Structure 1
Amino acid sequence: MQLLFKELSDNHEITVYDTNELYGEKGNFRVLQFLNEAIQGAMDLDHPERVLFEYPRAIIHLMDFNDPSFKDVFLIGHGIGTIASYYSDKRFTVAELDKKVVELSKQYFGYSKEDVLIGDGRAILESEAPDTYDYIILDAFTEKGTPSQLISKEFFQITTDKLHPHGSIIMNVFGRSDNDKLINAIHTTLQESYNYTKSFRLPAEGVTDTQNVIIMGSHKPIGYQARNMAGFNEINLDEGHIIWDKV
């Protein structure tokens, strides 16, 4: 491993490094990582256009399949800018809490767009005009997980106001592979605001393993092709409690 950058920013510890192996794959990789080895993004330096991780590939498929002509996206959580970079011809508004993350994405990962707003994603979204976006993508994490203000009933109501009537929200969250109370609660809360929902996860070796879970909400039926979901399988989640903003 070759360390390129390490600093404690306003929000968390950030590290950038190069490595010859990533999740068992040999190659030439550059990684953006937070505290506790939480990888926020990675690039194949030999093939920079490649989308390395499964979850953004699955999200990209859901976006393309459900609205091939979409134009406008609001994305909360920048990372190295994987999804926004993939869609060079679409209009993105990206909200990122930590300006250092944006600086590093440009310096070390070649992010070239000028579409990132620094600040709280919910507050920025709330200031946007109604009926503006085709998709809202949530991919924001702290060391404690997805911020609670981004998974509440009040937040999901904000998203329905900012989306076009045909628009959808897609979330990348983390949870256990079986009967995770928080994942169940997020899904149940989302169902309060959207007529259709689907959830997906990667196979896990044990029920206690934490992994990416993708949850999508829309007011129209949600479709996908299983072979293009990068290994994610559709799952049925149990009913959970409703998540409200903390008073």
Structure 2
Amino acid sequence: MAAQHTTDSSTTDLSLTRTAQRKAFSLLPPSLGLKLLVLVSGAVLMGLEIVGSRILAPYFGNSVFVWGSLISLFLIALSVGYYIGGGLSDRYPSRALLNTILLAVAALMFLIVIIGQPVCDAILRAKFGEKSGPFLAGAILFLLPSIGMGMVSPFAIRLATSTVASVGKTAGTLYALSTLGSILGTMLTTFVLIPNFGAGAILKGLAGALAIVAIATFQFGSGGAAIRGSAVILAAVAAGIFGLGDLRAASLPPGSELVREINTPYHHISVIDNKLDSQRELKFDRFTESAIELSPPHRTKSLYTNYFNLAFLPQPKIRRALFIGAGGGVGPKAFHEHDPTMEIDVVDIDQAVLDVARMDFYMPEGENIRAIAADGRTFVRNSPDGHYDAIFLDAFTIGGRIPFHLVTREFFQLCRQKLAPGGVLVMNVNSAVRGENARIFESMYTTLGEAFPQVHAFALYHQLGLRDQSTNVMLVAVNSDQKLSPEDWLAKAVAYESPSHIGNAEVRRMVNDLLTTLPPMKQATLFTDDYAPIETMSF
């Protein structure tokens, strides 16, 4: 009898809730409105998680730590939201309260547009690490709105259940709609919104969509206090829609002019003319990838790219060259100046980067220079064996990290297969060459040594004694068993000639950056396709 009494009481409570809902007025039928609310909140939640990576990337990179932080935070938020939403819906089973919560979530998402940059800047200045930094920033920016959206499913189940006997079916239907919304939000944000809009515009769009659905499904007359609270929140949302500017990775410094700005699935690209320094910069978010002089002949200001010409010392007759990672196209441009008949393939995963290299950084066009939008490793795998005399690897993601599949022993073995006898692979890495921040250099040197018979390292500013500070380190792997001594490098530099702007004196200076004494590398990590933890290494 006690069990029967409990069931009857629960059924009565549910019936009273539904009676109150029928007395309220909404623009959509209550059942349809609730389902639409669940669908859209699921879509917005996943959209927020994905665009969150674009908000954090300019400050903390796009590493596994950023994604691990985001995924963890959103799972924490969902857990908390489920718990709070379940308890709150039992005490106050009100559609007006649910819609008010989602209007508050929309207002919080608009707030991210305002506080995103200063929050991330402050965390960077406080010197939080690359592991704790993105987690803290993500918690401040995304935790509260995500908890609010996590409350939707248990709240909706409580409101939609007419009898205890139908709880299972109701819960299954609403969770299916929430998951479907998450799938749609993921695909829409990834394939449509990010390639075409900035992070600020996407945030405003997601928040606006959530606010519109919350208003359209609001049950007016179901709670005066809730309606008054919703009106205040709605005013804040409206102010966000019409009053806030876009979230930008960084404001332009004085004396700078924005030439071009493009959003792609891989980068937020900006081309900036810095009048004070008389240079044009290519930026991926806030990181400068390439720079050239504003005045003709537009020589590179990214001096490390001049070190690509070291490849002409062990292999003076380069007929076919492959550049993986276009940047501003300054390397291919210099090689074309050296020999206009040279066949040069320039491969970058982002077509927009190739377009910008040609439009804004004067990378030559012609039948001997091919610009190919493709993944570097996939392109190398499909190339003929022994086809290239030189391969240049200068591919970085946001934050200065090399994609892990381009740093493994298996990839370097593949590159060696594509090189002709005596061919050269030149790789740029950011690292110190001794001390705690030398792990990337040590691992890359060791891994290349597993694939090539000889590897040589040139550290920029090595002559100045800056070995324990991060710099550009050029690793030159030669597909030849004939070892090159420091004296051989110097002799080849003396004989070097080029019609390009990188002359003999410059190459001889660069040869002096050869590391003739290397630190012990017994603890260096060998990178393989199975294990290549480059993202966990500082530089």
TM-score by length of 1: 0.88
> What is the distance in 2 between the residues matched to 1:209 and 1:103?
34
Deviation at 1:208, TM superposition (A): 6.2
Higher radius of gyration, 1 or 2: 2
1:180-200 per-residue CA deviation (whole Å, 9 max, x = no partner) reads 112101110111111111111
Tell which deviates more after alignment, 222-231 or 174-183. 222-231
Bigger shift: residues 79-88 or 227-236: 227-236
Q: Deviations over 1:212-244 (max 9, x none)?
A: 111111124342547331874425243212101
Q: Tell me the CA shift for residue 132 of structure 1.
A: 0.6
Inter-partner Cα distance in structure 1 for 2:529 and 2:520: 22
Question: What is residue 104 of structure 1 aligned with on the other side?
Answer: 356
Q: What is the Cα deviation at residue 49 of structure 1?
A: 4.5
- The code of the aligned residue for 1:120 comes to D
Write out per-residue CA displacement over residues 157-206 of structure 1, whole angstroms, 9 at most, x where no aligned residue: 10110001111111001113423112101110111111111111123786
- Please show how residues 134-213 of structure 1 align to structure 2 within 5 Å: 134-144=389-399, 145-179=401-435, 180-203=438-461, 209-213=469-473
Greater strand percent: which structure?
1
Among all aligned residue pairs of Structure 1 and Structure 2, give the percentage whose two residues are the same amino acid: 24
Deviation, 1:123, is: 0.4
Alignment check: 8 A CA contact 1:202 1:231 kept:
no
Farther off after superposition, 154-163 or 212-221: 212-221
Return the match for 2:322 from 41, 54, 74.
74
Q: Which residue of the partner structure matches residue 259 of structure 2?
A: 4
Q: Which has more helix, going by share of residues?
A: 2
Whole-Å separation in 2 of the counterparts to 1:112 and 1:214: 24
How do residues 8-87 of structure 1 correspond to structure 2 at under 5 angstroms? Answer: 8-21=263-276, 26=277, 28-35=278-285, 37-60=286-309, 62-87=310-335
Give the direction of change, closer, same or farther, for the CA distance of 1:181–1:195 in structure 2 (3 Å limit). same
Partners of 2:483 and 2:511 lie apart in 1 by 21
One-letter amino acid of the counterpart of residue 164, structure 1:
A
Aligned length: 240
Change (3 A) 1:81 1:237: farther
* Matched position secondary structure for 1:154: helix
> Structure 2 regions of 5+ residues with no counterpart?
1-255, 494-506, 532-539
1:160 match: secondary structure: helix
Conserved 8 A contact 1:199-1:237: no
* CA distance 1:230–1:58, change in 2 (3 Å): farther
Q: How far apart are the structure 1 equivalents of 2:419 and 2:469?
A: 33
Structure 1 residue ranges without an equivalent (≥5): none
Counterpart amino acid of residue 312 in structure 2? D
| TM-score under structure 2 length normalisation | 0.42
Distance 1:81 1:244, change over 3 A: same
Q: Which runs of 4+ in 1 moved over 6 A?
A: 204-208
